[in-house]
Amino acid sequence: MPTLFKYESGIKFLSKPENLTLIADPTTTKAASNCDVAIITHSHTDHSIAFPNEGIKVYSTELASKLYESLTARKPKNTHFVDFNKKMNINDIEVKFIPAGHLLGAAQVILYFDDLTFCYTGDISTDKMLTVPKAEIPDDEIDILIIESTYGKADLMFDSRERINISILKWITDSLQSKKIPVINIGHLGGAQELIAFLNEMLSIDIYCDGRTSQINKIYKQEGIKLNWNSFDILNDTELKAENSVILLPRALKKPPEFLKSRKIARSIVTGQASRFAFSSFEQAFPFSMHANCNELLNHVKAINPKKVYTLYGFDSEFASVVRQKLKLFARPIKLSKEKPTLEEFL
């Protein structure tokens, strides 16, 4: 039978008469449980829900598994580790993982079926950063590319990561000169490590993180990423040098820790969503992301040059339209909207 694929709370593939199924990045436990095999591209929780599911074989990189455990405090089960750039057989399907950038251990997945070769990117970054390499281009001819489109809208404004980092650096130094402690809300995994690596290079300052971010930092450090920081879970108020300190908080945490209540602070947030939203409760919002922006995604598609492109998540319709217009390739969202299509999408 020909290979079938669809979005069903994850990318589901079916190609065998026995109805054995493989799913990539399931987003619900039910979707994972209804399949024989799950592939996980990276450890962010919107992609890695299958890790603790013992009723299904899970394939990922070892680093993705370790980072998931540090991020969630949940143990992966029935997990099989895959090395980068080595083909392996999963239920009679050849599969290869290649680096995706984005996070340590994050993978794009090449699936070799008899009739079609797929590349599913998961989340990617195509810019070489301090903590991760850029996403690789598959050296195979790809029939079907399924690509994330989190920031796949052409008019979302992203400055270069270098310029955004310099803006963050200036805000930090201005805050310290004003006798305020810079407090930055940022993601536990990915963004925090990239910012710490940058600040370590540029300034001699004390950086404090919560315990969960610190556990993730330790894994990055074990992998050879130079990071220097302190954990504020065990911080004494007397240990904090206000004139020379930066505090990193989890992105969703609204209230500062107790030890900062008597201090003057300046607050900012670092997230790619600052390209879309104002975040008015913060003094500054910096649109730094470990995801590729629209131009980077487009260049990735161009370099792969697949026969067909399916977009997923974020601005999937908008990015499919950009691919059609700029690259003249077949492109459409794999997860069809419940809303009526625009005329251009319909045509």
Amino acid occupying residue 198: F
Are 224 and 305 found together in one domain? no
Predicted pLDDT of residue 221: 97
Q: Give pTM, 2 decimals.
A: 0.93
**Token pair listed for 346:** 């319909």
CATH of the domain at 182: 3.40.50.10890
Predicted pLDDT of residue 233: 75
Q: Report whether 118 contacts 141 (CB < 8 A).
A: no
Predicted pLDDT of residue 346: 47
What are the two backbone dihedrals, phi and then psi, of residue 20, each rounded to the nearest 5 degrees? -70, 135
For 101-148, the pLDDT digits (tens) are 999 999 999 999 999 999 999 999 999 999 999 999 999 999 999 999
Which of 166, 164, 102, 114 is CA-nearest to residue 296?
A: 102
Are 203 and 126 found together in one domain? no
Radius of gyration of the chain (CA): 21
d(C-alpha 243, C-alpha 175), whole Å:
9
Are 136 and 265 found together in one domain? no
Are 281 and 310 found together in one domain? no
CB crowding 102-120: b at 16 or more within 10 Å, else e: bbbbbbbbbbebeebbbbb
Predicted pLDDT of residue 238: 65
Which of 309, 312, 252 is CA-nearest to residue 124?
A: 312
Predicted pLDDT of residue 183: 97
Predicted pLDDT of residue 344: 55
Q: What torsion do the CA atoms of 176, 278, 276, 27 make, to the nearest 10 degrees?
A: 80
Are 230 and 135 found together in one domain? no
CATH of the domain at 130: 3.60.15.10
Which of 124, 146, 120, 133 is CA-nearest to residue 294?
A: 124
**Token pair listed for 217:** 């930092």
Are 150 and 298 found together in one domain? yes
Task: Give the H/E segment covering residue 231.
Answer: strand 230-231
Give the domain-ending residue among 236, 254, 286: 286
Are 194 and 252 found together in one domain? yes
Predicted pLDDT of residue 131: 97
Number of domains in the chain: 2
Q: Which residues of the chain register pLDDT less than 50?
A: 346-347
Q: Which domain holds residue 33?
A: 4-155+292-346
Predicted pLDDT of residue 240: 77
For 322-341, the pLDDT digits (tens) are 999 999 999 999 987 555 55
**Cα separation values, 167 from 102, 221, 253, 298, 313, Å:** 21, 26, 22, 26, 29
Give the domain-ending residue among 286, 305, 336: 286
Burial of 345 (0-12, 13-18, 19+ CB in 10 A): middle
